[in-house]
């Protein structure tokens, strides 16, 4: 969503994407998980959520971080979890954030979106809602997110639409099972007056356990790319498919770079700050909001973020003509599949990732440090595993733009 | 979305100001502008443009404000302001210099 105009050559300024590489004074896209607790146990949950962590930030601590974000002029945050609405203070914190000029887009599986709550939310400015749905049919969705999760999500959408909550988001993690349903997802979004958002499956959290079975095939990657080129105008992607840009000469709309530590970061439920929502691992931990100087100091001074803001090299990808298009892909996807960070993405569309994966020792893969999964005992029933809402930012600054450039905020 | 915005064409003869709904956050490249009403984010990609936008309400017209911009950059700045007006980031003032609409 960008208004473009061509400046004369004398006024050509570096593309935003180049400016972003050096980092910003504050994140544009801050994901903030308020709890590891979740009523579901999605198979691909990127934060391995399930059980609350006893060290989670208290109501007062969250408010104090909101105060800090207001001072830093972080205008909105993407709140997730776990299932954030299971926090008893969730609505209080939502109101507090909005009252302090920190808009909230929260991801939910629909648990608490009753008709009455939907009406109250529809009357609240500055709140956006993202419903997670990973299948356009009950069968496909519930296989990943657990029994009952499809009906719960649909009920929440009906309540939001009924309440007149305009333009909420339906957020889909693309899997081998649901790529053929892209048109069906778009139809569901249209039906409820919602906007479709599709994002890439990452091998993060429990996603590592199911990645081999769920990540799209090469043919499906091309389907996603082609579909986005045809329908991308109305569809959000969290800029998560930039690794597919090497499939053709037409770049997908959005930010073609890894924003980790540059424009993006994650605050997890215990206050740890990570470079991105898909990288909950000590290797990507920049600090904690409880430490002196708070989040602001972590964002500005962490050695890890300083490192991520330095110019990168193409590493093993240097010499590949597609590198400018794909930028080497996703750091987290590489890390959790055991690939070097300066090499190809595991889903490299040129096939270099698959080749590299062949020599990875599966037993030596890095594990996410924090597993809050439900301890379930299968009693002849399939374990209920469902993903916690996915999230990432949707801001899509287009590159090569003029002096003033726009994008729609919290969508 | 820009296609939905009622195309607020920039009137060079009229006085403008930064919308009261907009906050500017300083950034290394210039500033990030956020509109709390329509939730749009814009990037002002030159510090001089940020100064121009901040000081717009001190001028009797946009044209007057642009007159202080060096010749080589004026056209680009005018386009930037037009784009900001189309996004409701800057808005006309109904009367006189510095007066809120």
Q: What angle do CA A271, A292, A299 make, to 5 degrees?
A: 60
A307 by DSSP, 3-state: which?
helix
Q: Is the pLDDT of residue A7 over 50?
A: no
Partner residue opposite A103 with nearest CB, options B39, B44, B84: B39
Q: Please give the structure tokens belonging to residue A157.
A: 């959408």
Partner residue opposite B40 with nearest CB, options A7, A403, A408: A408
Q: Is the pLDDT of residue A90 over 60?
A: yes
Q: What are phi and psi for residue B22, nearest 5 degrees?
A: -110, 135
Q: What is the pLDDT of residue A406?
A: 67
Chain centroid offset of residue A335 CA: 17
Q: What is the pLDDT of residue B95?
A: 54
Distance between CA atoms of residues A293 and A305, nearest Å: 16
Q: Is B7 on the interface with A (CB under 8 A)?
A: no
Tell me how close the Cα of A297 comes to any Cα of chain B, in angstroms: 16
Q: At what angle do helices B47-54 and B71-86 cross, to 10 degrees?
A: 60
H/E run at residue A105? strand A103-108
> Residue B17 pairs with which residues in a beta bridge?
B91
Q: Is the pLDDT of residue A110 over 80?
A: yes
Q: What is the pLDDT of residue A388?
A: 42
Distance between CA atoms of residues B35 and B21, nearest Å: 6
Instruction: Answer whether A89's CB lies under 8 Å from A127's CB.
Output: no
What integer is the mean pLDDT of B35-55? 92
Q: What is the pLDDT of residue A383?
A: 46
Q: Is A10 on the interface with B (CB under 8 A)?
A: yes
What integer is the mean pLDDT of A365-389? 66
Q: What angle do CA A345, A347, A349 make, to 5 degrees?
A: 100
Grade residue B7 by pLDDT with cuts at 50, 70 and 90. Answer: low
DSSP designation for B39: -
Q: pLDDT tens across A322-357, in order? A: 998 898 999 999 999 999 999 999 999 999 999 899
Nearest to A366 by CA among A241, A287, A282, A244: A282
**What value of ipTM does the predicted structure carry?**
0.82
Task: Give the position of tokens 């590891």.
Answer: A36
Share of chain A above pLDDT 70, in %: 88
Q: Is the pLDDT of residue A176 over 90?
A: yes
Q: Please give the structure tokens belonging to residue A73.
A: 């002029």
Q: At what angle do helices A59-72 and A294-301 cross, to 10 degrees?
A: 50
Tell me how close the Cα of B35 comes to any Cα of chain A, in angstroms: 8
Q: What are phi and psi for residue A85, nearest 5 degrees?
A: -75, -5
Q: Is the pLDDT of residue A76 over 80?
A: yes
How many angstroms separate the first and last alpha carbons of chain A? 10
What integer is the mean pLDDT of A176-200? 97
Q: Is the pLDDT of residue A120 over 60?
A: yes
Query: What number of CA atoms fall less than 13 Å from residue A381's CA on the CB side?
Result: 8
Query: Are the Cβ atoms of B23 and A25 closer than 8 angstroms?
Result: no
Q: Is B84 on the interface with A (CB under 8 A)?
A: yes
Sequence-distant (6+) residues with CB within 8 A of A157 are: A110, A131, A168, A170, A188, A192, A194
Instruction: Answer whether A277's CB lies under 8 Å from A330's CB.
Output: no
Instruction: Answer whether A252's CB lies under 8 Å from A237's CB.
Output: yes
Distance between CA atoms of residues A388 and A92, nearest Å: 21
Q: pLDDT tens across A238-249, in order? A: 889 999 999 988
Q: Is the pLDDT of residue A401 over 60?
A: no
Residue with the bigger pLDDT between A183 and A391: it is: A183
Q: Is the pLDDT of residue A225 over 90?
A: yes
Q: Please give the structure tokens belonging to residue A399.
A: 């590159």
Helix locations, A182-301, DSSP H: 182-191, 207-214, 218-231, 294-301
Q: What is the pLDDT of residue B37?
A: 85
Residue with the bigger pLDDT between A38 and A22: it is: A38
Q: Is the pLDDT of residue A369 over 90?
A: no
Mean pLDDT is lowest, of A162-171, A226-235, A390-399, B13-22, for A390-399
Q: Is the pLDDT of residue A392 over 50?
A: no
Q: Is the pLDDT of residue A16 over 80?
A: no
Residue A257's alpha-carbon distances to A62, A164, A275, A350, A398, in angstroms, are 30, 36, 14, 18, 11
Residue pairs between chains A and B whose CB atoms are closer than 8 Å: 119
Distance between CA atoms of residues B91 and B101, nearest Å: 9
Distance between CA atoms of residues A345 and A351, nearest Å: 9
Q: What is the pLDDT of residue A391?
A: 36
Grade residue A11 by pLDDT with cuts at 50, 70 and 90. Answer: very low
Q: What is the pLDDT of residue A23?
A: 86
Residue with the bigger pLDDT between A267 and A232: it is: A267
Residue B28's alpha-carbon distances to A3, A242, B31, B52, B64, in angstroms, are 21, 25, 7, 17, 27
Q: What is the pLDDT of residue A239?
A: 86
Q: What is the pLDDT of residue A14?
A: 66
pTM of the model: 0.87
Q: Is the pLDDT of residue A4 over 70?
A: no
Grade residue A309 by pLDDT with cuts at 50, 70 and 90. Answer: very high
> Residue B35 pairs with which residues in a beta bridge?
B22
DSSP designation for A200: E
Q: What is the pLDDT of residue A2?
A: 37
**B79 contacts in A (CB within 8 Å)?**
5-7, 402-403
Distance between CA atoms of residues A394 and A156, nearest Å: 22
Q: Is the pLDDT of residue A291 over 70?
A: yes
What integer is the mean pLDDT of A360-382? 77
Q: Please give the structure tokens belonging to residue B75.
A: 């056209």
Best of B6, B32, B66, B83 to disrupt the A interface by mutation (most A CBs within 10 Å)? B83
């Amino acid at each position: 969503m960008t208004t473009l105009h061509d400046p004369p050559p004398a006024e050509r300024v570096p593309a935003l994407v180049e400016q972003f590489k050096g980092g910003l004074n504050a994140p544009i896209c801050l994901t903030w998980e308020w709890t590891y607790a979740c009523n579901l146990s999605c198979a691909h949950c990127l934060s391995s959520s399930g059980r609350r962590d006893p060290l989670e930030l208290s109501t007062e601590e969250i408010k104090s971080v909101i105060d800090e974000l207001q001072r830093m002029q972080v205008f909105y945050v993407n709140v997730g979890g776990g299932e954030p609405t299971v926090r008893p203070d969730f609505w209080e914190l939502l109101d507090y954030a909005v009252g302090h000029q920190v808009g909230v887009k929260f991801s939910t599986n629909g648990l608490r979106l009753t008709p009455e709550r939907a009406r109250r939310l529809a009357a609240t400015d500055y709140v956006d809602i993202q419903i997670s749905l990973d299948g356009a049919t009950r069968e496909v969705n519930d296989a990943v997110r657990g029994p009952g999760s499809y009906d719960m999500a649909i009920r929440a959408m009906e309540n939001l639409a009924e309440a007149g909550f305009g333009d909420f988001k339906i957020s889909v993690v693309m899997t081998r099972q649901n790529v053929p349903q892209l048109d069906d997802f778009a139809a569901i979004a249209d039906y409820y007056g919602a906007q479709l958002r599709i994002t890439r499956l990452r091998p993060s959290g429990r996603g590592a356990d199911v990645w081999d079975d769920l990540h799209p095939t090469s043919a499906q990657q091309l389907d996603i790319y082609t579909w986005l080129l045809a329908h991308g105008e109305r569809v959000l992607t969290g800029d998560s498919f930039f690794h597919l840009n090497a499939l053709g000469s037409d770049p997908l709309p959005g930010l073609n770079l890894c924003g980790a530590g540059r424009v993006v970061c994650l605050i997890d439920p215990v206050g740890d700050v990570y470079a991105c929502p898909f990288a909950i691992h000590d290797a990507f931990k920049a600090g904690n909001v409880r430490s002196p100087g708070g989040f602001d100091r972590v964002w500005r001074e962490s050695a890890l973020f300083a490192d991520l803001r330095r110019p990168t090299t193409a590493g093993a990808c240097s010499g590949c003509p597609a590198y400018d298009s794909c930028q080497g892909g996703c750091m987290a996807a590489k890390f959790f599949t055991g690939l070097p960070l300066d090499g190809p993405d595991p889903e490299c569309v040129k096939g270099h990732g698959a080749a590299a994966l062949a020599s990875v020792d599966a037993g030596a893969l890095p594990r996410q440090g924090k597993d809050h999964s439900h301890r379930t005992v299968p009693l002849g029933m399939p374990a209920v595993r469902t993903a916690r809402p996915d999230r990432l930012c949707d801001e899509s600054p287009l590159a090569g733009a003029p002096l003033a450039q726009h994008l729609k905020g919290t969508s | 979305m820009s296609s939905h915005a009622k195309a607020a064409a920039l009137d060079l003869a009229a006085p403008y100001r930064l919308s009261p709904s907009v906050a500017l956050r300083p950034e290394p490249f210039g500033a990030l502008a956020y509109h709390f009403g329509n939730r749009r984010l814009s990037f002002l990609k030159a510090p001089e443009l940020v100064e121009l936008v901040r000081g717009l309400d001190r001028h009797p017209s946009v044209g007057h404000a642009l007159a202080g911009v060096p010749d080589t950059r004026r056209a680009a700045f005018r386009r930037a302001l037009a784009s900001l007006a189309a996004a409701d980031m800057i808005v006309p003032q109904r009367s006189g210099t510095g007066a809120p609409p």
